[in-house]
A and B are shown apart, each in its own frame.
Chain A
Amino acid sequence: MSDFTDVCALNDITPDTGVCALVNGKQVAIFRPAATGTLYAVGNYCPAGKANILSRGIIADIKGQLTVASPLYKQHYVLETGQCLEEETLSIPTYSVKVEGDRVLVSAS
């Protein structure tokens, strides 16, 4: 299950932004919210905008939930669950991510 892939150094992700990594053929958006120190990994594909761009969105706190606002049409996806706040039927996959030393590891099997 949990075979983690080393994708980048923690410092490669500027605080409060995201990057996209290729893990087992999947596009994974990894976010580093300044607020929590925790990393989040979700799918990079925005099902509303139909493009691989979520890693380039702004991290937004919506009523206490951390989300990414899609850079195309601004739908919010909850980083924890992948649920879209504007359209109930839309969601994106979530992945496990952890920091070991100064490295970022993602599991997306």
Chain B
Amino acid sequence: MSNKQKLVVIGNGMVGHKFLESMVDMEQAAHYDITVLCEEPRPAYDRVYLSSYFSGSTAEDLSLVKEGFFEANNINLKLNCKAEKLDRAAKVITTQSGEEIAYDKVILATGSFPFVPPVPGHERKNCLVYRTIEDLEAITAAAKGSKVGVVVGGGLLGLEAAKALKDLGLETHVVEFAPRLMAVQVDDAGGALLKSKIEELGVKVHTSKNTQNITDGDECVHKMEFADGESLETDLILFSAGIRPQDAIARDSELELGPRGGIVINNHCQTSDPDVYAIGECALWGGMIYGLVAPGYNMAKVAAQHLTQTGEDLFEGADMSTKLKLMGVDVASIGDCHARTEGALSYAYTDEVNQVYKKIVVSADKKLLLGAVMVGDAEDYGNLLQMALNSIELPEKPEALILPSLDGAAKPMLGPDALPDTAQICSCYDVSKGDICCSVQNGAQTIGDIKAATGAATGCGGCAALVTQVMNSELTKLGVEVNTDICEHFAYTRQDLYNIIRVEGIKSFAELLEKHGKGHGCEICKPAVGSILATCWNDYILEDQHMGLQDTNDIYLGNMQKDGTYSVVPRMAGGEVTPEGLIAIGEIARDFGLYTKLTGGQRVDMFGAQLHELPKIWKRLIDAGFETGHAYGKSLRTVKSCVGSTWCRYGVDDSVGLAIELENRYKGLRSPHKLKMAVSGCTRECAEAQSKDVGVIATENGWNLYVCGNGGMKPRHTDLLAQDLDKETLIKYIDRFYMFYVKTADRLQRTSVWMDNLEGGLDYLKSVIIEDKLGIAEELEAQMANVVGTYQCEWKTTIENPEKLKRFAHFINADEKDENIQFVKERGQIRPATEEERVNKENLIAIS
């Protein structure tokens, strides 16, 4: 038998799992045989983001378990296994199925359960709670036959649940017992503003409602009767009226509990029995149950350290400040937000026009910040939280902290230097200022590096701005200059080069290199400069002075494949093509023996063209009325469209017509990376416009413009830039958007990544594109007009120029073909032969 200690963890929720992760990080974990009893059918998942299940996340997406975690660490995980009895005298746990498990130490991480008020009728059909994935499945099923849904409880979780019901398409109501929403975190004025904002989003809020009875409805399944004599009919009821600690097993084994439940623990998270620990929402420390995940994680760490005798961290309570976005509304609460401290004074600021409410609570001597409430704008949260947590002396006029700066004077911001090293910057992952500085000292230079090294800003993300400030301050202190030069030949970013070329009117790479660079250029700077020159002046890209700048595909106006052959893609604007056009393409592909495939952008791709065949193929395509599709360029690819109102029973507007117009407008625009667009004729979104760089969707009131989406390796949904536009405004905004992107993006940076790195994000982009904050809109439009006005089909220009055609031969001095290019037949078409097939001359087909 193993002489290891037997450790049993009851519960595999977020906190229970954090405990396991803390354990396996320690060498001492080897001294334990760990068994985990999990009542649910699946291991730990993220309950904080539970509502994302209704906007597309799967149970798998929510999982917190790294692949192979239990196996790799020899942890015995028992799912669907509820611990029924804890016999502390015999040191044995009995499970629901009667299995007996001996232990030396036990961790209770049983969590909590939703409190359902004992209202008559609460056990009726479709009266549910919101806690587990099984609950979500039940809610989804119940929502199918329902029109109306009610959430009982207007706290944080209740509002999350309301969002879920709304996402499921139900008419949604929130019923709250207290006179305001989020009674714990915000005050009356903040609650009132929150209510009006949430009602604007289409959720009806009923406060001061005491539900007395649930009975049969007339219109709906249920009728809720309130103490004030009013009633509300609904098909579905979700109870979210708070949580209660899951302490039954502790109660039965006579561990010390609080007067209203909760397993009493000390600073090491030990219960009244030193061999039994309790962590998370089942534990009661200092008379408090902590219903947030961060304190639970902290308990997990403390318990693991104490158990293994590897550290001396204590659990000494936790700050319950929170910042969150509820249904798109920013809400934040810090410390003593109700001004309960003796002598506390408050300052409040209300802006009914922009729907912002802010309040700070300060000590009687006005020196310390005790608490704050923010609704509608929580930008000050990070700053205020640090002031409160670190007892930093307030400025002379504390109200300046929340008042908008009217005369341009800067707000009294707390620089990162004012913070002590111990200041907790990220509360989700307990990352201090010192931790961030340390990882900078170890080489981190970007927010991405910091996230990977410390986990900071990867939870709720509320601290991202402050983390960046701390990082930048530390980088400056270390004298680290982050090198953003494009390459060794130019000490400039792509954006700098773009501005230099525009402002100085530079027309060639040689001129730029002479004036601003050194050396001879490389495969990084040459294509980047080639692209900028093309955007600015739109010369033919194969002119002698530009030819050497063009990358693999551009230099022969085709997409090079693995064997050195090319694929050929004629433009089919909007995906529209005549039968004659299709026949012509079919004949050309057949005559040249090309492999044909449809692309994701609604056009035909022909593969296997050899260099010398390209001009002949294009001659025939152009004669048949086609033009280049720029599939080879970092430029506009396609504008995908659904069939739209012309044919579709549901179409609202002519998506094909607009797609063709847009494709013809932006074709040929050279940009930092490829550009994809789509137009959908109604909100069913068959063209998948919300995954494109620019997406347009028709609505009853005009066109909605979406930007910065991406499919591919790292998918990103678009953001809505503007809605209900007429066509003229739509095109104006797209002109500005594209030219602003082209002007400011890094090399090979798609619009999605560009947006994620744009300081100020979507709001900033709106201010530039719509409000013309930078005063450059007219200039951007003029630059786009120049690109549109100077368009040429590069293939047409090429086949009309005998000098250029000389290069389209494999050998400059012979008519032979590259013998390395060999094809075999597969499914009735060609494909490149494998090396083996080539060597053994197996099934090779004769090439013309």
Contact = CB atoms under 8 A, between A and B. Distances in A.
Say whether A associates with B: yes
A101 interface: no
Nearest to A49: B562
A51 B519 contact: no
Interface in B782-835: 806-807, 810-814, 816, 818, 820, 835
Nearest to B565: A51
Contact of A19 (B521, B548, B812, B818): B812
B778 to A, nearest CB: 37
A60 B548 contact: no
Interface string A41-80: 0000100011111001111111110100101101000000
Interface in A1-37: 7-8, 12-17, 19-23, 27, 30, 33-35
B554 to A, nearest CB: 10
B847 to A, nearest CB: 14
Contacts of B520: 33-35, 59, 61, 66
Given A21-B812, A33-B520, A35-B520, A59 B552 contact: no
Interface in B93-132: none
B812 A74 contact: no
Nearest to B510: A34
A58 B548 contact: yes
A34 B806 CA distance: 20
B587 interface: no
B807 A19 contact: yes
Given A20-B812, A33-B520, A34-B510, A58 B560 contact: no
B809 to A, nearest CB: 9
Nearest to B560: A71
A8 B552 CA distance: 23
Interface of B is mostly: loop
Contact of A21 (B489, B527, B548, B811): B811
Given A61-B520, A69-B523, A14 B544 contact: yes
Given A15-B548, A34-B548, A51-B563, A22 B811 contact: yes
Contacts of A66: 520
B548 A7 contact: no
B666 interface: no
Contact of A52 (B488, B552, B564): B564
Contacts of A20: 810-812
Nearest to B553: A71
A74 B560 CA distance: 13
A57 B519 CA distance: 18
A15 B521 CA distance: 14
A7 B556 contact: no
B562 A58 contact: no
A74 B523 contact: yes
A24 to B, nearest CB: 12
Interface string A71-92: 1101000000000000000000
B814 A22 contact: yes
B336 interface: no
Contact of A50 (B521, B550, B835): B835
Interface centre among B549, B810, B813, B820 (most CB of A within 10 A): B813
A104 B548 CA distance: 19
Contacts of A71: 551-552, 555, 560
B24 to A, nearest CB: 38
Contact of B552 (A14, A22, A56, A64): A56
Given A14-B544, A21-B812, A58-B527, A69 B522 contact: yes
Contacts of B526: 58, 60
Nearest to A12: B812
Interface residues of A, number: 38
Interface in B73-103: none
A17 B548 contact: yes
B633 to A, nearest CB: 15
B820 A51 contact: yes
A108 to B, nearest CB: 12
A60 B521 contact: yes
B544 A15 contact: yes
Interface in B238-292: none
A53 B812 contact: no
A60 B548 CA distance: 10
Contact of A62 (B510, B522, B550): B522
B345 interface: no
Contacts of A56: 552, 555-556, 560
B806 A12 contact: yes
B473 to A, nearest CB: 34
A14 B803 CA distance: 10
B221 interface: no
Contacts of A15: 544, 548
B552 A72 contact: yes
Interface in B510-537: 510, 519-523, 526-527
B547 interface: yes
A67 B292 CA distance: 58
Contacts of B806: 12
A91 B626 CA distance: 42
Nearest to B820: A52
B812 A7 contact: yes
Contact of B813 (A14, A22, A53, A63): A22
A16 B820 CA distance: 26
Contacts of B488: 62-63
B562 A51 contact: yes
Contacts of A72: 552, 560, 562, 564
A53 to B, nearest CB: 4
Nearest to B527: A58
Contacts of A16: 547-549
B489 A61 contact: yes
A50 B832 CA distance: 13
A85 to B, nearest CB: 12
Nearest to A62: B522
A74 B748 CA distance: 15
A45 B820 CA distance: 10
Nearest to A61: B520
B315 to A, nearest CB: 52
A27 B753 CA distance: 42
A71 B556 CA distance: 11
B804 to A, nearest CB: 9
A106 to B, nearest CB: 9
Contacts of B812: 7-8, 12-13, 19-21, 30
Given A16-B547, A51-B564, A52-B820, A8 B523 contact: no
A15 B549 CA distance: 11
A53 B811 contact: no
Given A16-B547, A51-B562, A66-B520, 11 more contacts: A7-B813, A15-B544, A17-B548, A27-B818, A34-B510, A49-B562, A60-B522, A60-B526, A62-B522, A63-B488, A74-B523
Interface of B: 488-489, 510, 519-523, 526-527, 544, 547-552, 555-556, 560, 562-564, 806-807, 810-814, 816, 818, 820, 835
Give the 7 A-B CB pairs with smallest separation, nearest first: A16-B548, A61-B520, A60-B522, A71-B552, A69-B523, A35-B520, A51-B564
11 contacts: A17-B547, A22-B811, A22-B813, A35-B520, A51-B820, A56-B560, A58-B523, A58-B526, A71-B551, A71-B560, A74-B523
